[in-house]
Amino acid sequence: MLSERRLQVLRAIVQDYVGTEEPVGSKALTERHNLGVSPATVRNDMAALEDEGFIAQPHTSAGRIPTDKGYRLFVDKLAGVKPMSPPERRAIQNFLDGAVDLDDVVARTVRLLAQLTRQVAVVQYPSLTRSTVRHVELLSLAPARVMLVLITDTGRVEQRMVDCPAPFGEASLADLRARLNSRVAGRRFSDVPTLVEDLPEAFDLEDRGTVSAVLSTLLETLVEENEERLMIGGTANLTRFGHDFPLTIRPVLEALEEHVVLLKLLGEAGDSGMTVRIGHENAYEGLNSTSVVSVGYGSGGEAVAKLGVVGPTRMDYPGTMGAVRAVARYVGQILAES
Amino acid sequence: MLSERRLQVLRAIVQDYVGTEEPVGSKALTERHNLGVSPATVRNDMAALEDEGFIAQPHTSAGRIPTDKGYRLFVDKLAGVKPMSPPERRAIQNFLDGAVDLDDVVARTVRLLAQLTRQVAVVQYPSLTRSTVRHVELLSLAPARVMLVLITDTGRVEQRMVDCPAPFGEASLADLRARLNSRVAGRRFSDVPTLVEDLPEAFDLEDRGTVSAVLSTLLETLVEENEERLMIGGTANLTRFGHDFPLTIRPVLEALEEHVVLLKLLGEAGDSGMTVRIGHENAYEGLNSTSVVSVGYGSGGEAVAKLGVVGPTRMDYPGTMGAVRAVARYVGQILAES
DNA sequence: GCCTGGCACTCTGTCCGCCCGAGTGCCAGC
DNA sequence: GCTGGCACTCGGGCGGACAGAGTGCCAGGC
């Protein structure tokens, strides 16, 4: 086990490196943090930390930089979450309060997170699978064409066209609409399939085909996982990434365009509490030199989606975590209100 | 006026520079293009072209590179639009045909454009202001709360909450829904305000407040210009920009995040036909070292929105223009079908 | 046993001077 | 009006020298 002082040395190294972006040496350390010991002692500690794999030297006779393992220890044991200041909290709330609809909430959240953390922000739309149905609307657009509109409790709206096997009268449509809503309104998505199972039986033979078509479209919409959308912002912050630009930034930009990858990444993160994935802990190769800080958010007690930021492993973890947590909290509130 | 050969020299310079990214000299030019004259002659022509401002030298005794003015002449007079090959056309059509809804159409279009041009693609959602109303739906979510859903002929769906000044019965709601749709369905957005003007008068005094609230929300939704959304893709292609990375790429990324700026940019482009804005021709400073190739697209004969690409001024104009035109054409078809 | 000061060593980044090659402009000649 | 020739210029690459930062290790002191 590492002694208390060695942990302090590691913490100091992480803090300095995050600030300066340059390998930090023993002398600079003792000057900037009063560790109460001499550079020579610190050197011994650093050698030990290097043996354990927490820090590394880019080349002989340069300072040390933290490894992914070093950041991990820092995040787990050495760093708290830096809370937002009251003015910041107010600013967050004010900014989010101005949103007019769900798209706007998500867009504002992305912007806010990117500004607060000065990194790339990723916000997942409130997921369908954990939501409940608020209303299902059916519109007859043509004799054999119905539009299905699904409205969720998080304010999300999905629409689908249904081609009917046979013409479907307005009366039948109204009937189906009423029956459908009385069964599924307010229910969780996962319960819907069993709730509508026997619905076609209530209709005339000639209408059953259409009813089934509508229902299967509805079920499709409910499970369709590619509808897990997300919004991204703050990519300009990638330019602050480092000196060795093109090589580092390119795979990150590619990863950010692969929403599927990001969704998977967010999905893997723990369901409750904040998750920090550092460097190679990210399964996706393009993000091996980045850290992802993510957390679930939702209306009420339950998380319905995730949000987070992507930044260089060399990031201000306490500050980033504080911002992510605060934003998630306020977005949850906004969603609960609307 | 420049002689025919000098124009050929300019064309050759543009082509070579786009290919190699390096200043092109007189000797290389005569070797790669059979101009039928010696390097010395070409040098004279180049001096003339430089006097006219079409090309420039990065430093004395280096080759020449085209200026914005040079590219302009190239695009206007010297370059055609390179048509897509039949296999490419098929690929475009197949890829777009798989789309399931409007979001998907736009998402696929962005991806496709980015891949074809290897640049950043920008696609504006079909605009509301030129569309027609397909249907207006009203849902009662609570006694004094109505959800308004607007469906357009381009498949777009907008929803808004309306807080009613007084409780509003289901019967009145159905009445309003019917009256509203009989008046506005199939009509252009711009006609809606006058069409619904006298609608409140048809209702009981107690309901008029709510009817007005619903109508004003509807009108708001129709005019709300911030609802002009767009989607962006292919930002990873920015890494192919040039050597002097961070400085060039940062303002571009910032511009791309400012959807308002991009919308303005697209809006300024000519309404019909393809528009190419080169370097400083772009009003927005951050895009001064980029060119924007844009074109309107739409279902039927009329353009309802724009799409385009953003790339370095040093781009393959004929190829890019060909891809943009082809994609716009097919997207128009897809929209017309659905 | 742990900390400390001192010392020799190593490596990087930078600055300078040099040379080479590419490219130019100009001129005289055809 | 085109061409070959020639002198000139400038940037990029190469190599050596140098300064600075940082290390590892060792012997001595608390």
Beta strands in chain B (DSSP E): 55-56, 65-66, 120-124, 133-142, 145-152, 157-163, 230-233, 275-278, 290-297, 305-312
The Cα–Cα gap between A52 and B280 comes to 55
pLDDT digits (tens, 9 = 90+) for B48-96: 999 999 999 988 878 899 999 999 999 998 888 999 999 999 999 999 9
Each residue's pLDDT tens digit, B153-205: 777 778 788 888 888 888 888 889 889 988 988 888 888 888 888 888 888 88
Whether A133 and A249 share a structural domain: no
Burial of B129 (0-12, 13-18, 19+ CB in 10 A): middle
B40 touches strand C (CB under 7 A): yes
Q: Are B24 and B16 in contact (CB under 8 A)?
A: yes
Query: Which whole number is the average pLDDT over A284-292?
Result: 92
* Mean pLDDT calculated for residue range A109-137: 88
Task: Using alpha carbons, select from A258, A29, A81 the residue that is nearest to residue B234.
Answer: A258
Name chain B contacts of A139, Cβ cutoff 8 Å: 135, 137, 151
Mean pLDDT of B120-132: 83
C-alpha A283 chain-centroid distance: 16
Judging by beta carbons within 10 Å of its beta carbon (0-12, 13-18, 19+), is residue B31 exposed, middle or buried?
exposed
Residues A17 and A56 in one domain: yes
Question: Which pLDDT score is estimated for A148?
Answer: 87
Q: What single-letter DSSP state applies at residue B138?
A: E
Residue in B101, B135, B253 nearest the CB of A239: B253
Q: With helix as H, strand as E and coil as C, how does B67-86 read?
A: CHHHHHHHHHHHCCCCCCCH
Q: Where a domain ends, among A198, A224, A250?
A: A224
For nucleotide C3, give the residue with the nearest CA to its C1'. A41
Q: Is B101 within 8 Å of chain A by CB?
A: yes
- Same domain, yes or no, for B176 and B249? no
The CATH number of the domain holding residue B261 is 3.30.450.40
Q: Are residues A55 and A182 in the same domain?
A: no
CA distance B293 to B322: 10
Q: Report chain A residues whose CB lies below 8 A from the CB of B160.
A: 100-101
Any bridge partners for residue A276, and if so which?
A293
CA angle, residues A79, A85, A90, in degrees to nearest 5:
140
SS3 A307: strand
Write the CB contacts of A139 (distance below 8 Å, at least 6 apart in sequence): A146, A147, A149, B135, B137, B151
Mean pLDDT across A282-309: 87
Any idea what the CATH number is for the domain that residue A67 is in?
1.10.10.10
Amino acid at A245: F
Q: Is A232 on the interface with B (CB under 8 A)?
A: no
Regarding whether B90 and B65 lie in a shared domain, the answer is no
CA distance A147 to B318: 42
The reply to whether A103 and A247 lie within a common domain is yes
Give the pLDDT of residue A291. Answer: 95
Strand C within 7 A of A41 CB:
yes
Angle between helices A317-337 and A86-97 (to 10 degrees): 40
Q: Of A178, A205, A224, which one is at a domain's C-terminal end?
A: A224
Do the chains contact at B151 and A134, CB–CB below 8 Å? no
| pLDDT for position B145 | 83
- pLDDT of res. A226: 43
pTM as predicted: 0.83
Q: How far apart are CA A248 and CA A310, in angstroms?
A: 13
- Could you tell me the two tokens for B39? 């390097």
A236 touches chain B (CB under 8 A): yes
Contact in structure between A26 and A42 (CB atoms under 8 Å): yes
Pairwise CA distance, residues B208 & B227, whole Å: 28
In the prediction, which pLDDT does B237 show? 92
Q: What is the DSSP string of A237-298?
A: GGGGS-SSHHHHHHHHHHHHH-HHHHHHHHHHS-SSSEEEEEGGGSSSGGGTTEEEEEEEE-
Block residue for tokens 């293009």? B33
Res A243: pLDDT:
60
Residue of A nearest to B133 (CA): A141
Q: Which nucleotide is nearest to A39 (CA to C1')?
A: C4
Task: Measure the CA–CA gap between B20 and B172, rounded to whole angstroms.
Answer: 70
Å from B220 to nearest chain A CA? 12
Q: Does residue A338 carry a pLDDT above 90?
A: no
Question: Do A113 and A239 share a domain, yes or no?
Answer: yes
Range of the domain at A137: 129-224
Q: What pLDDT is stored for residue A247 in this prediction? A: 66
pLDDT at A242: 64
C-beta of residue B85 within 8 angstroms of C-beta of residue B328: no
**B236-248 pLDDT per residue, tens:** 998 887 665 556 7
Angle of CA points B82, B88, B92, to nearest 5°:
115
The amino acid present at A126, given as its one-letter code, is P
Q: Average pLDDT in the A207-234 region? A: 83
Q: What is the mean pLDDT of residues A166-184?
A: 87
Q: Is the CB of B32 under 7 A from strand C?
A: no
What is the spatial distance, in angstroms and rounded to an integer, between the CA atom of A163 and the C1' atom of D29?
A: 92
- The pair of structure tokens assigned to A22 is 């340059």
Query: B226: pLDDT confidence band, cut at 50, 70 and 90?
Result: very low
Which of B180, B203, B224 finishes a domain? B224
Chain position carrying tokens 């200026």: B67
Q: What letters, b where the CB count within 10 A reaches 16 and e where it falls short, cover A151-166? A: bbbbbbbbbbebebee
Q: Do B297 and B314 belong together in one domain?
A: yes
Residue A170 pLDDT > 70:
yes
Same domain for A121 and A167, yes or no, is: no
User: What is the number of CB-based contacts under 8 A between chain A and chain B?
Assistant: 71
How many Å from the CA of B67 to C1' of C26? 25
Residues from chain B that touch A337, judged by Cβ atoms under 8 A, are none
**A57 and A205 fall within a common domain:** no
Q: Collect all residues with Cβ–Cβ distance below 8 Å to B301 and sequence separation of at least 6.
A: none
Residue A245 forms contact with B (CB below 8 Å): yes
The total number of structural domains that make up chain A: 3
Instruction: Report, as an integer, the average pLDDT of B302-330.
Output: 92
Residue B1 in this model has a pLDDT that exceeds 60: no
Per the rule left: phi > 0, alpha: psi between -120 and 50, beta: everything else, A155 is left
Amino acid at A47: A
Whether residues A194 and A250 share a domain: the answer is no
Are A236 and B245 inside 8 Å of each other by CB?
no
pLDDT of residue A293: 96
Put simply, whether B236 touches A (Cβ < 8 Å) is yes
Asked whether residue B134 falls in the same domain as residue B220, the answer is yes
Reduced to 3 states (helix: H, G, I; strand: E, B; else coil), residue A222 is: helix
Near strand D (CB < 7 A), which residues?
A 23-28, 39-40, 43, 46-47, 50, 57, 61-64; B 5, 36-38, 40-41, 44, 59-62
Instruction: Encode pLDDT of B93-109 as tens digits.
Output: 999 998 877 888 999 99
Distance A16 CA to D29 C1' (A): 32
For residue B2, the model assigns a pLDDT of 67
- Report the residue count for chain A: 338
pLDDT value for B5: 87
A157 touches chain B (CB under 8 A): yes
Alpha helices in A62-204 (DSSP H): 68-73, 86-97, 102-117, 170-184, 192-196
Q: Which nucleotides of C are covered by protein (CB under 7 A)?
A: 3-6, 9-12, 21-27
pLDDT recorded at residue A225 = 45
CB–CB of A250 and B239 under 8 A?
yes
Q: Which of A155, A235, A338 sits opposite B235 (nearest CB)?
A: A235
Distance in angstroms (rounded) separating the CA atoms of residues B325 and B303:
13
Say whether the CB atom of B56 is under 7 angstroms from strand C.
no
Is the pLDDT at B338 greater than 80, yes or no?
Answer: no
Best mutation site among B153, B154, B238 for testing chain A: the one with the most A CBs within 10 Å?
B238
| Contact at CB, A157 and B149, closer than 8 angstroms | yes
Residue A32, Cβ density class (10 Å: 0-12 exposed, 13-18 middle, ≥19 buried): middle
